[in-house]
Structure 1
Amino acid sequence: MFFLRYRSCVPGIFSAVLLMLVPVFSWAAATAGSPAAVPVLEPVTIIGSLDVRANGVSRLSREMIDRLPQGNGTINELLDVLPDVQFSETFKSSLTAGEILPPDVSISGGKVFQNLFLIDGLDNNSLLDPTARNPNDFADVPGHPQKLFLDSSLAEEVVLYDSNIPVRYGQFSGGVIDVVTRHPAERFSVNLDYRHTRDEWTEFHLNEADRAGFTQSGSASAQPEFSKHQGGVSVDLPVSDRVGLLLDYHQLYSDIPLLHLGERKSQNRRNENFFLKGVFDQDADHSWDFTLLYAPYKADYFVQDAADSGFVINGGGLTTTLNHYRFFEQGSIQFQAAFSDSENSRDAPQNWRLWAATDSRPWGRLVGSDYSREGGFGNLDKEQQDVHVNVDVNWDLEPRGDLEQHLNGGLQASWTRGRYQRSQQAVAYKESRLTPDVICGADLFACIDGEQFLTRRNVYRASRTVEEINAIGIYFEDQLRYRQLSVRPGLRADYDDYLENLNLAPRLALEYDLFGDGRTVLTGGVNRYYGRSFLTFKLREGKLPPNAEYRSTVHNQVMAWQPYPDTLQSVARFSRLDTPYNDEVVLGFDQALLGGQLSGKYVYRRGRDEFARQYGPVEADGLRYYTVNNNGYSRHESYRVSWEKAWRKQYLLLTWTWQESSSSNDNYDTVLDDEELQDRVWYRNRIVYKAELPRRDYNRPHTLEMLWTTQLPAGFSFTNFTRYLSSYHSLENTWQEKAIPGAEQRFDFFKGEPVAESLYVYDDVKRGDVVLFDWKLAWQGTLLGVPGVGFRFDIFNVFNRKVESGLSPGEYQLGRQVWAGLNFKY
């Protein structure tokens, strides 16, 4: 596959005078003027709406996306305004304000890697270790749940499915995010836009004891300075009445200066989108479109206070899609074919050396260390290639009396290839020994004559492994409507030659229009969702374990390397697995109220056979093998009430959500063997199994939200997003022990007596509640005789509230942050 490796320059620094205008909320203005007074003007065409209903679907239109406060401009950040979506407690951390990757999201209690991400209906999920996050891992590289990171400017619509999800979507057990990219406009146009923020426009909330260390940070885990630039150009080019082209380039760039060996040195992050879309309306019955998206991600790092340690993490990739739509009198057929190639790779120095700080290796002394570190962790390449072919058929049957029937069915076939490769041997040298009379001989790389030599090393051997997954999914859904009752039964069958499981997922959704006028609708559903496997499991099996070696001296002469005795290494071994699944029950209603829509919903989910791992005994070869198992499980319960209304120039959404989630493990790398499942602890004065403890993250119980957007006079618009986050209880092991009372002690039948035991006490660590305001103020009009000019200001945490978050005490979210931007459209 040919990749265009393109490096673009950083946009010039934008200079703007920030004018913060705080409009007065006026409910008199909100209700002035009846929609009936202007019947030809639909509110949605001006403001947009989310259309939050009990049926489990919410939509962000292009109009609404333009009005939302946006930080890095990623699709995931837009989901913050939608119900049943939770971000990590570490989201918008004060420690890492310079990062640009899309945040992880949990939907309806699902884990962050259990969602299905789609771009124009095609899978955008990465199977290359999506929860890996450590850039300094010698044996691996960071991953992400998504293959490509799409800029929100390319989205025509973002559709979220959080419950009662149709059968055409499969291989997930969380939620579904389907991004529909925009089509070329019918008129020629050019759009330029640019946005900027920096540390001077940001308030950092920190633990005072950590502030001095933060400002002098040399690690990417603490970023006191940063500047971000987001911008691009979009060209709509109508070739003819039937053919249109859209060309778009957008870049998000971040510069993060850090201290490195006594000097300022920057780390950079860059995500680019090169987008081409062509549309061909052949005739009234045939339509075609072609999409090419190249979205590389690049992150420059260095190891803290290590000389010659610069390395690059590469992600993202390329995808091409062809769609053909065939329309006929009673339905349509859609054919999709797509190819994608994505990577998670590292370019780094091949060897790591941990010297003693001496006159010949002095740089460790600059930072007060006894050691001078040097080098890197070696090149690593992980690649995922996908081919998808989908056929979707919709058919409207002739009505039979009061019975209306719509059929939907289809087939989805995919081929996925994963590759892990360390092309060259990489070595980590450590444990230096100062020896003034040492003789290095031929080894002048890990030894200095008359000074020191390195006595131990881990040799990471070159290795390569390739694995494939062939999968097929078939689905059928029958949507029946009889008078006031709508029933949507469906069945989905999935099979792949990796797990070799045939997964049958029945789904049933019901709606009852109570009075037949659409004002009161009752909703219900019973569904099963099967997840997917990851290439991670098989690719890890192909990794060769590092060889541990040591050496000494004889008569001051450095000897040859030899195996280090009794070294324990853990190695992956593939095991036969069941496919994780979630069973769901949904009850809800939609009620017309006060000119708007009141909705309520209850969702209960139970997750089974979720991935975890377990270790086996040490084998005769000195290796300890671990396997992935299906010991994980989870539970989620939520209640939601919302009310929304769209006026001629305003939109308001009020939402309250209560949820509670518990899970045996956070991700598939958690050790969860039979012994762990039986491990008990004290929690809230009760003895519970450790696996039944509440989740430590994505578990705020109560959330109140208000989204209000309005069109103001003179070309101004304003959006306010207010959130109340209830107090949050994070789990902590107090390391105190408490005896089990006699009535709950286990009985030893061999000794004929109760077993006296003490268990660790787990306690809640309370994080306080908070009210947060995010604003967006925009203006669009003519400036100095030039039409199509716009300014925008996105302000987050307007009142600079201090929010303790994170999974460790003393971590806080960012305070007030301002983004300023401009755009020009011709």
Structure 2
Amino acid sequence: MCKKGTLLMFCVCMSLCNDDIVLVIDDVNVTAQSHTNQLSSSIDITGGTTQVKRSYIEALPATGGGITQILRLNPAIKYNATQRTSTNAAEIDPDDISINGAPSWQNSFLLDGVNFNNDLNPRQSRISALNTKSQFSPNATLPDIGSISQGINLDSELLESISVHDSFVGAKYGGFEGGVVEAKTRDPRKGFHGKISTKYTSDTYLKTYIDNQLLSEYKSSTNPKLQSEFTKRIYNLTLEGHLSDDFGLIFSASQTRSQFLKVNLGGRSAYFPANGEPQYNKQVRRSDNYLLKGIWYASDRVKVTPSFLYTPAHSTHANTFSKNGDFDIKTDGIIGSVGVDYEGDSFELLNLFSYSRLISSKDASHQNFITWPTTNHHNWGGTYSAEGAYGDIDQIQQTYSYKGELNFNPVDLFGVNHTFSMGVELAHKTGKYAIPGFFTAGTAFLKPLSAGQSCRADDKLCIDDITSVASGIPASRFSSTHGGFFHKYTKYQGKAKASINETSAWVQDEMQIGRLTTRIGARIDSESYYNQTTFSPRFSATYDVFGDEKTKINFGANRYHGRNIFSYALRNAMNSLAYTCERPTVYDGSDFVCKSNGSLPRYTQSNLDVPYNDELAFGLKQQIYNIDATFKFIKRYGRKEVRAKSYWNMPNYYNPLRPNPHYNPNYDNYYFEYDNSGKSRSDIYEIKLASVKDFEFYGSHGFELIFNYIDTKRNYNTEDNYLERDFYSIDYDGSAKDIDKVIYNGAIIDRNSLPSADFNEPWEIKLLTMHKFSPINLGFTKIKTNLSNFFSYRGKHESIVRVGITKLDGQDYATYENVNFGRAFNWDAKLGFEFGAVKNSAFFVNLEAYNVLNRRVIAGKFIDGVGKNTKTYTVYEPGRQLWFEVGYKW
């Protein structure tokens, strides 16, 4: 007997292949909506989950942004405004996102059920130079490179759909405070199909807006952050098919290539050729995705789905003022999984076994960092010449996990329809931070050679035979005639490792009582590092007012516990990898003696608890003819958020009667305390209008219009290092200097009370339209035309920026003010043409245009420099940018 689904597929295929064939079938009960809007659709009874399908992914102008760029229409999501700017268009890292006001690292990213969050150190964003952040930042343990919140840069070309669970989230999901981004890879289709394509853009097709203060650096390319000349290419290949009726395979590969064609090594004057022209270096960004996935129907009841994803990625960097200062950043990833699903008579059992290995590491060309006086031996700098790149750093995260899920068929108990489900999750995670070995030496540890002294032949930290020396070097550190030597340096070597075992269990009951549907569940999570067990109750309800599925009211009250990240567990262990190496301050040619200086920790933790968000949510949905109108209000309370507080840790030798209240002899000279004193509150309003079915008029047309307003208040900032710790004129009296204070809008406040500097645009209107026009039949081919438009209008908002240093009562305070960013309108578009070829194959051409109207929009402000020597610059969003794509599919 032919199944209804098979019969329907046959009818559709026949009609596509031959317009003249007409089939009349009687007495077959098949219902389908062939023109359902493919923009996005709620797939959850409460409206808390939004799914974007393959047609949406292909149509949306979102090239080069990873999976998070696909989610721009979601009203709960905010983006880091300064991550993609007019001057860093060659970067390819995935975008950080905030969901419902939560920190960007407190989302859960899943690929076919496997988590791919980077939990090594996602609170600290990447640095682009040689770890030259202020030492008074809590994440400034040298050496450190930070991480990105997503462990891999996942290409959307691999995916069948992306679902975002941003509210009313069921008990199945845990490990987040903001939301869950769940990506599903494509299953192989029967037959043999494939696709090959390439995309291209460059600085030629980008209008750049730049602050005048940076124009000289931009034109001369002396700052690698200002990418004046670049090219970007993306290559995609997909092959899929079935080797038998029961077994299919899909292979998908994507390669993203970006390079700066011109990075001026301006500070390395020793490298200048004879004509005095500067030498240029090329920097590269690479990210690859290779997916091999199978699907095997072992029997009528058992399905096995093996999958392997490999995502090698690296980027090259250059410190333009340090010889041998080049290094690579690697963010490779491996995710392997096997799903085994069993369908019983009254239940479904899903099993998922997985392994992942995520790398965020640094490979330096030179295993040290030394600041030399500029002499005839080291002549590429000003007063001092830097050499090296702080050496190699390996950061590796490995996870073994199992997920089991049991879903029962609906049962009727005492007149109430119940659908029970439950599950368990087991995970063993390890995080490793390793330094193969290198040293740093600063100018403060220089001593001059005396008359008649010379360096030992193999002494690499001593220089003599001086014929020239830069002015401005103190004689107490270096002799302009005899030379000098380092008597002390800091060496980093060793590894730190932490392991966390996680166990989770959840249960859920979805009940149908007339027009009322409720979902009651609970989740228990236990982890070994802090030895905590958390309980997360989940409740949501939907009431169908008239019983026609057109008018619904939703309500929910839920608790979401966040993620544990390795940075808290590894901090002091990383700090203990520092060794102090010393020799006499009068040169005698002796060797250095090294000893660990990690006996006094820099970080203290007050028995940290797992942070959580409490959610109250209300929704209303009304279908009016062919339009769905929805309203949703979400209130989130963030509790036990982790904050970092800094303390100057020296006794007051000048005035013992006025002791430093923060002095603790068990910690380093300055130390940081992580505690759970952070809290937040977010109010989120969402209004959405969307077509239920495509409108038919010379083709099919759909739209989705969204308004969102998010108001978030925090008593902490979303990244440890987003603002530098400006310590000035510090003496031993920590209480007198009150180093945790800043001036904000004219008032002295606690630094950690500063408002957030990002993810803070309060409201936005977004409109997406998608158009598939009727094919044009030219006889030898048919031309299909697709057009998508994405419009956004963002309201005025304020952000904080450091404007300088203010001296008050003899003390220097970092000074911040609010900066108002005006309203901003943007229009992105994608125009595609498809030319039919033999059988079911076609050539296609796509043109994507971002910021079509080429509007000059301020993205934010940023600070360049360290300490007092800083400047504030304006950062602009990219101007008009064009992408071109060509390809063939069959």
- Alignment check: 8 A CA contact 2:431 2:566 kept: yes
Query: Against the structure 1 CA distance between its residues 317 and 454, is the aligned structure 2 distance closer, same or farther, given a 3 Å change threshold?
Result: farther
Task: Give the Cα–Cα distance (whole angstroms) in 2 for the partners of residues 790 and 119 of structure 1.
Answer: 28
Task: Give the Cα–Cα distance (whole angstroms) in 2 for the partners of residues 197 and 390 of structure 1.
Answer: 42
2:291 is aligned to 275
Query: Against the structure 1 CA distance between its residues 52 and 385, is the aligned structure 2 distance closer, same or farther, given a 3 Å change threshold?
Result: closer
Task: Give the Cα–Cα distance (whole angstroms) in 1 for the partners of residues 614 and 738 of structure 2.
Answer: 21
How far off its partner does 1:245 sit?
0.5
Query: Against the structure 1 CA distance between its residues 825 and 376, is the aligned structure 2 distance closer, same or farther, given a 3 Å change threshold?
Result: same
1:632 is aligned to 678
How far off its partner does 1:515 sit?
0.7
Query: Against the structure 1 CA distance between its residues 62 and 620, is the aligned structure 2 distance closer, same or farther, given a 3 Å change threshold?
Result: closer
How far off its partner does 1:222 sit?
1.7
How far off its partner does 1:704 sit?
0.5
Q: What TM-score, normalized to structure 2?
A: 0.80
1:394 is aligned to 407
SS at match of 2:216: helix
Alignment of 1:623-662 (within 5 A): 623-645=669-691, 646-647=693-694, 648=696, 649-662=700-713
Alignment of 1:232-631 (within 5 A): 232-257=236-261, 258-260=263-265, 261=268, 262-348=278-364, 349-364=366-381, 369-400=382-413, 403-431=416-444, 439-451=454-466, 452-455=483-486, 457-543=488-574, 544=576, 546-548=578-580, 554=586, 561=592, 571-573=602-604, 575-615=606-646, 617=663, 619=665, 623-631=669-677
SS at match of 2:360: strand
2:272 is aligned to none
How far off its partner does 1:104 sit?
0.2
Query: Against the structure 1 CA distance between its residues 501 and 56, is the aligned structure 2 distance closer, same or farther, given a 3 Å change threshold?
Result: same
Q: 1:511-559 CA distances to partner (integer Å, 9 max, x unpaired)?
A: 11111111100001001000121111222221225345566764x7666
2:123 is aligned to 131
How far off its partner does 1:40 sit?
6.0
Task: Give the Cα–Cα distance (whole angstroms) in 2 for the partners of residues 654 and 154 of structure 1.
Answer: 27
Task: Give the Cα–Cα distance (whole angstroms) in 2 for the partners of residues 514 and 581 of structure 1.
Answer: 33
Deviates further, 618-627 or 290-299: 618-627
Task: Give the Cα–Cα distance (whole angstroms) in 2 for the partners of residues 82 and 102 of structure 1.
Answer: 17
SS at match of 1:362: coil
Task: Give the Cα–Cα distance (whole angstroms) in 2 for the partners of residues 540 and 685 of structure 1.
Answer: 35
SS at match of 1:715: strand
2:854 is aligned to 800
How far off its partner does 1:233 sit?
1.3
Task: Give the Cα–Cα distance (whole angstroms) in 2 for the partners of residues 759 and 141 of structure 1.
Answer: 28
Query: Against the structure 1 CA distance between its residues 733 and 220, is the aligned structure 2 distance closer, same or farther, given a 3 Å change threshold?
Result: closer
How far off its partner does 1:445 sit?
1.4
Query: Which structure 1 segments of 5+ residues have no match?
Result: 1-37, 740-757
Query: Against the structure 1 CA distance between its residues 479 and 686, is the aligned structure 2 distance closer, same or farther, given a 3 Å change threshold?
Result: farther
The reply on whether 1:84 has 2:153 as its aligned counterpart is no
Task: Give the Cα–Cα distance (whole angstroms) in 2 for the partners of residues 730 and 621 of structure 1.
Answer: 35
Task: Give the Cα–Cα distance (whole angstroms) in 2 for the partners of residues 612 and 509 of structure 1.
Answer: 31
Deviates further, 398-407 or 49-58: 49-58
Alignment of 1:184-223 (within 5 A): 184-223=188-227
- Alignment check: 8 A CA contact 1:553 1:559 kept: no
SS at match of 1:113: helix
Query: Against the structure 1 CA distance between its residues 167 and 677, is the aligned structure 2 distance closer, same or farther, given a 3 Å change threshold?
Result: farther
Q: 1:800-823 CA distances to partner (integer Å, 9 max, x unpaired)?
A: 111112243511111011111111
- Alignment check: 8 A CA contact 2:578 2:596 kept: no
2:52 is aligned to 60
How far off its partner does 1:44 sit?
3.4
Q: What TM-score, normalized to structure 1?
A: 0.86
Give the residue type in structure 2 aligned to 1:478.
Answer: D
1:724 to 771, 785, 793: 793
SS at match of 2:443: strand
Query: Against the structure 1 CA distance between its residues 682 and 128, is the aligned structure 2 distance closer, same or farther, given a 3 Å change threshold?
Result: closer
SS at match of 1:75: helix
- Alignment check: 8 A CA contact 2:257 2:284 kept: yes
Task: Give the Cα–Cα distance (whole angstroms) in 1 for the partners of residues 744 and 672 of structure 2.
Answer: 30
Task: Give the Cα–Cα distance (whole angstroms) in 1 for the partners of residues 881 and 814 of structure 2.
Answer: 42
The reply on whether 1:712 has 2:773 as its aligned counterpart is yes
Query: Against the structure 1 CA distance between its residues 228 and 438, is the aligned structure 2 distance closer, same or farther, given a 3 Å change threshold?
Result: farther
Query: Against the structure 1 CA distance between its residues 566 and 309, is the aligned structure 2 distance closer, same or farther, given a 3 Å change threshold?
Result: closer
- Alignment check: 8 A CA contact 1:89 1:807 kept: no
- Alignment check: 8 A CA contact 1:477 1:491 kept: yes
How far off its partner does 1:563 sit?
8.7
SS at match of 1:253: strand
How far off its partner does 1:234 sit?
1.1
1:180 to 184, 196, 206: 184
Please provide the CA RMSD for this pair. 3.3
Query: Against the structure 1 CA distance between its residues 353 and 129, is the aligned structure 2 distance closer, same or farther, given a 3 Å change threshold?
Result: same
SS at match of 2:285: strand
SS at match of 1:92: coil
- Alignment check: 8 A CA contact 2:312 2:333 kept: yes
Query: Against the structure 1 CA distance between its residues 777 and 456, is the aligned structure 2 distance closer, same or farther, given a 3 Å change threshold?
Result: farther
How far off its partner does 1:793 sit?
1.1
Task: Give the Cα–Cα distance (whole angstroms) in 2 for the partners of residues 641 and 576 of structure 1.
Answer: 41
- Alignment check: 8 A CA contact 2:577 2:596 kept: no
2:881 is aligned to 817
How far off its partner does 1:122 sit?
1.3
How far off its partner does 1:78 sit?
0.7
Query: Against the structure 1 CA distance between its residues 466 and 637, is the aligned structure 2 distance closer, same or farther, given a 3 Å change threshold?
Result: same
Task: Give the Cα–Cα distance (whole angstroms) in 1 for the partners of residues 373 and 744 of structure 2.
Answer: 47
Task: Give the Cα–Cα distance (whole angstroms) in 2 for the partners of residues 596 and 358 of structure 1.
Answer: 75
Q: 1:324-344 CA distances to partner (integer Å, 9 max, x unpaired)?
A: 111123331100100111111
Query: Against the structure 1 CA distance between its residues 375 and 696, is the aligned structure 2 distance closer, same or farther, given a 3 Å change threshold?
Result: closer
- Alignment check: 8 A CA contact 2:577 2:598 kept: no
How far off its partner does 1:152 sit?
0.4
2:657 is aligned to none
Task: Give the Cα–Cα distance (whole angstroms) in 2 for the partners of residues 210 and 802 of structure 1.
Answer: 16
Task: Give the Cα–Cα distance (whole angstroms) in 2 for the partners of residues 328 and 493 of structure 1.
Answer: 27
User: What is the aligned-residue identity percentage?
Assistant: 25
Deviates further, 513-522 or 371-380: 371-380
2:102 to 94, 107, 110: 110
Query: Against the structure 1 CA distance between its residues 52 and 413, is the aligned structure 2 distance closer, same or farther, given a 3 Å change threshold?
Result: closer
Task: Give the Cα–Cα distance (whole angstroms) in 1 for the partners of residues 634 and 787 of structure 2.
Answer: 33
- Alignment check: 8 A CA contact 1:402 1:483 kept: no
How far off its partner does 1:376 sit?
1.8
